[in-house]
């Protein structure tokens, strides 16, 4: 069993507990009553022409399977406010419990604290989670191509968009990018962390990004340690970066986000010159 398989097995178990407490029909009523989703595609620069800014998706992340405990984050709302003040375009909140020590309570706290789009970061394996995300005020959900067959990927993306949300469709290989493009994904992430082994290879991004059509927002995921890594991704075609660890272990997330944005914009300017 791979790391991804193990995580998904736990996600399914926890999902059944929540489904028993809140039936799907009740969840749908809550989703329909929630305020309309914010336009995350636009927030990430999808409507800009040309895309000259590097957008930062800042993550509320306590723990990871690869690094273990990262930060206690006793007040996720306060951290999120600092992200927003620092210029984050989107905030990602981990809600997976077992490996990331996240929760929907964290998500609710952040939703009440900020006014920018939120990504419900979890391992989506059932439509229940998509309705759940919308009911809690999510604007984006994560769809991992490696965790879904084509039918589920297409169905989940269609449901997500029908609820007014966007999906960050995560890929790791050229074949996964082809599948994401085939279902019409508009925000495509390239995760340089292999979810089967947890190894990080930053060179993967440059080798894969050329397979993504220009109309899609391209998000570089994992491996950001500093502004140089952000510049590297931006130079090779990233429109946005998703950053968790580098922000939560530092004491100045506002300055880090500003530095990432500046480095990314400079690298994009050089790329556009060419």
* Whether the predicted pLDDT of 59 surpasses 80: yes
pLDDT (mean) for 176-201: 94
* Whether the predicted pLDDT of 274 surpasses 80: no
State the number of CA atoms in the 13 A half-sphere of 98 facing the CB. 13
Eight-state DSSP code of residue 120: E
Tens-place pLDDT, residues 155-188: 999 999 999 999 999 999 999 999 999 999 999 9
- The residues, ordered by sequence, that sit 6+ positions from 48 with a Cβ below 8 Å of its Cβ are none
Tens-place pLDDT, residues 92-103: 999 999 999 999
Q: Tell me what percent of the chain is helix, strand and coil, each rounded to the nearest 5.
A: 50, 15, 35
Helix runs in 44-167, H state only:
76-86, 104-113, 127-135, 150-162
Q: Are 165 and 134 in contact (CB under 8 A)?
A: yes
Domain boundaries, the chain: 3-273
Residue 56 pLDDT = 98
pLDDT (mean) for 128-142: 98
Collapsed DSSP state (helix, strand, coil) of residue 184: coil
* Whether the predicted pLDDT of 3 surpasses 90: no
Q: What percent of the chain has pLDDT over 70?
A: 100
Measured between alpha carbons, how far is 27 from 108 in angstroms, rounded to an integer?
15
Tens-place pLDDT, residues 19-39: 999 999 999 999 999 999 999
Measured between alpha carbons, how far is 64 from 10 in angstroms, rounded to an integer?
15
Residue 227 pLDDT = 97
Eight-state DSSP code of residue 37: P
| Cβ neighbours of 237 (radius 10 Å) | 18
Tens-place pLDDT, residues 227-248: 999 999 999 999 999 999 999 9
Residue 71 pLDDT = 87
Give how far Cα 16 sits from Cα of 20, 114, 219, Å.
Answer: 6, 30, 31
Residue 233 pLDDT = 98
The residue among 195 and 224 whose pLDDT is bigger is: 224
- The matching CATH number, chosen from 1.10.760.10, 3.40.640.10, 3.40.50.720, 3.20.20.70, for 3-273 is 3.20.20.70
First to last CA, the chain: 45
46 band by pLDDT with thresholds 50, 70 and 90:
very high
Residue 235 pLDDT = 97
* Dihedral in degrees, nearest 10, Cα atoms 121, 210, 173, 39: 20
* Whether the predicted pLDDT of 137 surpasses 90: yes
The residue among 274 and 75 whose pLDDT is bigger is: 75
Measured between alpha carbons, how far is 150 from 45 in angstroms, rounded to an integer?
27
Q: Are 224 and 243 in contact (CB under 8 A)?
A: yes
198 band by pLDDT with thresholds 50, 70 and 90:
confident
Catalytic positions are 59, 61, 121, 170, 191, 221-222
pLDDT (mean) for 59-72: 89
Q: Are 120 and 96 in contact (CB under 8 A)?
A: no
* Whether the predicted pLDDT of 195 surpasses 90: no
Measured between alpha carbons, how far is 157 from 236 in angstroms, rounded to an integer?
27
Beta bridge partners of 166: 140
64: left (phi over 0), alpha (psi -120 to 50) or beta: beta
42 band by pLDDT with thresholds 50, 70 and 90:
very high
Return the ∠ at Cα 255 (arms to 87 and 109), rounded to 5°.
55
Residue 250 pLDDT = 84
């Amino acid at each position: 069993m791979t790391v991804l398989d193990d995580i998904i097995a736990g996600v399914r178990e926890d999902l059944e507990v929540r489904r028993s407490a809140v039936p799907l029909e009740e969840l749908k009523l809550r989703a329909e009553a929630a305020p309309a989703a914010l336009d995350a595609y636009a927030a990430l620069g999808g409507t800009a022409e040309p895309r000259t800014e590097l957008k930062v998706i800042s993550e509320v992340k306590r723990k990871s399977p690869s690094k273990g405990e990262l930060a206690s984050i006793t007040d996720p709302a306060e951290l999120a406010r600092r992200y927003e003040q620092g210029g984050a375009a989107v905030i990602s909140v981990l809600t997976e419990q077992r490996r990331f020590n996240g929760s929907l309570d964290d998500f609710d706290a952040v939703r009440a604290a900020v006014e920018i789009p939120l990504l419900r970061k979890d391992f989506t394996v059932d439509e229940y989670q998509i309705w759940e995300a919308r009911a809690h005020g999510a604007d984006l959900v994560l769809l991992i191509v490696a965790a879904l067959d084509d039918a589920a990927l297409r169905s989940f993306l269609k449901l997500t968009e029908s609820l007014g949300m966007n999906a960050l469709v995560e890929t790791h290989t050229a074949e996964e990018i082809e599948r994401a493009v085939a279902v019409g994904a508009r925000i495509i992430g390239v995760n340089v962390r292999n979810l089967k082994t947890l190894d990080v290879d930053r060179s993967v991004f440059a080798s894969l990004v050329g397979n993504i059509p220009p109309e899609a927002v391209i998000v570089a995921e994992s491996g950001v340690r500093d502004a140089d890594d952000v510049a590297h991704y931006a130079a090779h075609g990233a429109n946005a970066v998703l950053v968790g660890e580098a922000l939560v272990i530092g004491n100045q997330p506002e300055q880090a986000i500003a530095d990432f944005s500046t480095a990314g914009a400079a690298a994009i300017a050089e790329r556009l010159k060419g």
